[in-house]
Amino acid sequence: MEIGRDRQARNETFELSENAVAVLKKRYLKKNEQGEAIEEPIDMFRRVA
């Protein structure tokens, strides 16, 4: 991956509904030992892409 493309992808924003964010936090985002989300939805999308 080119560095320029990586920076551009990081600056992209995604519009998600409140319900979508709640589902992501509860089910799919990486969590710490206390069960708190430690990544943002954009990070999850990049991780699974």
Place of tokens 């969590």: 31
* Cβ atoms of residues 37 and 30 within 8 Å: yes
- Quick one: pLDDT at residue 21? 94
How crowded is the C-beta side of 8, counted as CA atoms within 13 Å?
5
Give the range of the structural domain holding residue 22, as residue numbers without chain letter: 3-48
Query: For residue 36, what pLDDT is reported?
Result: 95
The per-residue pLDDT for range 1-41, each reduced to its tens digit, is: 455 555 555 556 779 999 999 999 999 999 999 999 999 99
Q: What is the largest CA-CA distance in the chain?
A: 36
Domain count, the chain: 1
| Tokens, residue 26 | 């509860």
pLDDT of residue 5: 55
